[in-house]
Structures are given as C-alpha cells and as structure tokens.
Amino acid sequence: MAHEGLWEQLEKLDRAETARRAKCQHLTNPQRYVVPLLNKEFVVNLSGRSIHSAPLDSPPYPADFLEQLCLLAYLINARDLPLADKLCNAEALPGGQFFFRGPHSLPTKILQSTFGDRPEFLHRVSRHFGAERCEFGDASVRLYVLPRVPLTMIVWGRCEEFDARASILFDKSAADQMPLDALLAAVNLAVQALTRAAKGD
C-alpha cells in the first residue's frame, strides 16, 4: 500500500485534535476526515485506509499518489498557527536550499509556458480555485492548496526584451504545516490544476 508509514502515523493521532489542527472535519461511522484540497474535498477513510473525492457534483474517484501524500502529510503535521503573512521563496524555508534542486525544483517553467504569453489569463483560470488576486508581476494570485497552506504564484509576461518568468512563493509558516516533499507535491498539484484549467477554458 502506498504511504503505509503515513497511515500508521495518522492512525495513532487524536482525531478531534487532528481535525482542529488541520482545519477540517472529523466524522464517525466510519472514522474519516473530510479535507479541502484545491477546489475539491477529499474523504480520508481511516478504517479502510482509502482516500477518495467527496461525492458532491460528480462520482467520487480515488486520490492519486500526490494527492494522498499531501493529505496524509498535512493531517499528520498541520499546526494550529496563524499565517506569518510574510512571503519567501522555497530556498528560504528550513532545509529548502538543499531540497528544492534538480528533480525537486519547483515547476515554474510550466507556469511560464502556460501563462507567459497571456499573464492575465492566470487571474481568470485561478477563479475556479477560489484564488485571490495579488499585485505582483504582470499577474499573480494567492491560492490555498490546503486550509493552512497558501501559495503565491507570479507571472511576468514575455516581451521583445525579456522571456516570460514565473515565481512560486510560500508563506513563511509553510514548513510548519508540511514537510518539504509534501509541499513540493502540493505545488505540483496546484500547477497541474491551473494548467489543465487553462487548456480547458
């Protein structure tokens, strides 16, 4: 089973306290958490060790590997702390200078290729995910991947003098809520969702 060690950690935690820390619901019969992830809700079923989307407007589907990692790591690690309201790049997070390299680099090139020729489209697409518009670059949004984990995505458009650029920033509290590998998974999920929405819009 994928993430077996994470399931074992989660099962040992007090459930009401876990739900409070993670700002999510804990339900019984069966024992489960309901956690918002981007613009969906997922049911984390403890008794069956399964995770699937909540059956709101469409048939539920099983969470994929990255979704499972994000949800389990978040439930285990989330802390009842306010946001720092200070942005930082990935390298400024504790341990980030060494982790976010090579295959662990943030997917900024995907944002560049998707929105570099039309930065304003980022605002339109991100509305599907409840994002807040920011005032950085040519277009920027603040998007909550999980209840305590916002990301700020910034795009500078392509012009005659400069290529398109993109940046992904974290609240300085991000590493208090999730380990770095799960934060990277959250970023990848968010960028994938925005890219899919851009292609379908």
Backbone angles phi, psi at 148, to 5 degrees: -115, 15
Separation between Cα atoms, residue 162 and residue 167, nearest integer Å: 15
Report the share of the chain in percent with pLDDT over 70: 98
pLDDT score for 118:
94
Give the DSSP H or E segment for 92: none
Which of 36, 61, 46 lies closest to 149, judged by CA? 36
pLDDT score for 87:
98
Whether the pLDDT of residue 201 is over 70: the answer is no
Domain ranges of the chain: 4-77, 87-200
pLDDT score for 83:
96
User: Which CA distances in Å does 110 have to 26, 66, 138, 164?
Assistant: 36, 17, 16, 11
Are residues 147 and 24 in contact, defined by beta-carbon separation less than 8 angstroms? yes
pLDDT score for 166:
97
Single-letter amino acid code for the residue at 31? Q
Give the DSSP H or E segment for 156: strand 149-156
Question: What are the beta bridge partners of residue 51?
Answer: 44
In this structure, what token pair is assigned to residue 114? 């998707």
Separation between Cα atoms, residue 124 and residue 122, nearest integer Å: 5
Which of 106, 82, 76 lies closest to 183, judged by CA? 106
Single-letter amino acid code for the residue at 168? I
Mean pLDDT throughout 55-67? Answer: 86
Summarised one tens digit per residue, pLDDT across range 68-118 is 999 999 999 999 999 999 999 999 999 999 999 999 999 999 999 999 999
Separation between Cα atoms, residue 192 and residue 37, nearest integer Å: 13
